[in-house]
Amino acid sequence: MGRSLARYAECVLKTTPSLLLILALSAAFEAGIAAAQASGSAWSFAVSGDSRNCGDFVMPAIAAKVKAEKDVFYWHLGDFRWMSQPDQDLEAMQPGGTKLTRSQYLPLAWDDFLTHQIASFGSTPVFLGRGNHETVDRSREDYIARFRGFLTRPEIVAQRQADGDGNLPVETWYHWTRNGIDFITLDNASHDEFTEAQLKWLRSVLDRDLKPDSGIHTIVTGMHEALPHSTSSNHAMDDWDAGLHTGEIVYTWLFAAEAAGKHVYYLASHSHYFSPNIFNTPYWKQRSSHVLPGWIIGAAGAHRYKLPKGADKASLTDIYGYLRGTVHADGTIEFALRQISEDDMKQAKWPNAPLDAIHECFVDNSDSADWK
């Protein structure tokens, strides 16, 4: 990792609160202009992650709600299929409930994700992030080849052209802008991330966003695993040395963007529950007067985990659902949990999805069920 990147990160959180306030105030006027130019009507988008295990039953229900509430797009933060062994929803929809060997399952897994999950969204745009289960017996190159159509969506291609990156290879990290908001997808699915190449790219994106004439007033960053020192640190980038180091760098960069006057929001999944205020921890509170707003929303079908100690009181597990982000004219975003019921799953089910399998996914697919 380059020393310049590390020094920049260290300097940000060592900056005195008074200087941070000055930085924020100096950008306030520019932010106000950008907000005044924004559209006066609110709009919304949806986000969640971790649809392995039971996602073939949960994701169609999410898609039905997303389309009904006219969300502009859906953002999936990774872990499409289990990969290490067959997902129970996929097996339940086999003729006669046929059990698959892993060698039979692997060639079907990603096609099943596209057929029984993403196809449910119809014409609603879908953006994909890479999760750690996308690395099981599959390379980064495999991922790019299979999901290239999602990595080269028109919004992403147009943004690459605007950034001057149009001739560079397609990556698993990307961003696109809409109405003054920069949506940034990062890849921390494997333990070589964040690589210096990805950090260099992110730094260039944030530098452009911070220019006075950028037109960007809000930054939303999404990835699979949570950045270090969150309430989910037992299952996040804290798990490997490079992840800990580079994740701290990314947090400080986002913190600096907020201090410069941008609205900044952070989204992750990987842990299979809903949890807000994930950076409200002793580590980050000791280093600044406030923390970044962050959420974990890993509730799109995966085996549900128990909540960690220190999780915000509003956290929930043993639920399925997604976050709906409502964007207001001033660039602020209000995030609200939308839960999926068993009836929602039944109403949106595929014709070959057995009702007993849906019920089992709703009541038993969790750590709590394991202890019954």
pLDDT digits (tens, 9 = 90+) for 140-152: 999 999 999 999 9
Is 197 inside any structural domain?
yes
Q: Is residue 40 very low, low, confident or very high in pLDDT (cuts 50, 70, 90)? A: low
pLDDT at 80: 98
Is 282 inside any structural domain?
yes
Q: Is residue 370 very low, low, confident or very high in pLDDT (cuts 50, 70, 90)? A: low
Q: Is residue 106 very low, low, confident or very high in pLDDT (cuts 50, 70, 90)? A: very high
Is 372 inside any structural domain?
no
CATH of the domain at 355: 3.60.21.10
Counted domains in the chain? 1
Q: Would the pTM count as exceeding 0.95?
A: no
Q: How far is CA 301 from the centre of its chain?
A: 15
Is 302 inside any structural domain?
yes
pLDDT at 96: 86
pLDDT at 222: 98
What does R_g of the chain's alpha carbons equal in angstroms?
Answer: 20
Helices (H), the chain: 3-14, 17-37, 55-68, 88-92, 102-116, 140-146, 148-151, 154-163, 196-210, 241-259, 282-285, 342-347, 355-364, 367-370
The whole-angstrom separation of Cα 55 and Cα 358 is 10
Print the domain residue range for 50: 3-366
Q: Is residue 5 very low, low, confident or very high in pLDDT (cuts 50, 70, 90)? A: very low
- Under 8 Å between Cβ of 233 and 284: no
Q: What is the rounded average pLDDT of the residues 244-273?
A: 98
Q: What is the rounded average pLDDT of the residues 70-95?
A: 98
Q: What is the rounded average pLDDT of the residues 218-227?
A: 98
Q: Is residue 97 very low, low, confident or very high in pLDDT (cuts 50, 70, 90)? A: confident
Is 134 inside any structural domain?
yes
Q: What percentage of residues in the chain have a pLDDT greater than 70?
A: 88
More confidently predicted of 157 and 39: 157
More confidently predicted of 41 and 352: 352
Cα–Cα distances (Å) from 281 to 69, 246, 288, in that order, read 34, 19, 11
Is 102 inside any structural domain?
yes
* Chain mean pLDDT for the chain: 91
Q: Per-residue pLDDT tens for 183-200?
A: 999 999 999 999 999 999
Is 371 inside any structural domain?
no
Q: Is residue 369 very low, low, confident or very high in pLDDT (cuts 50, 70, 90)? A: confident
pLDDT at 282 over 90: yes
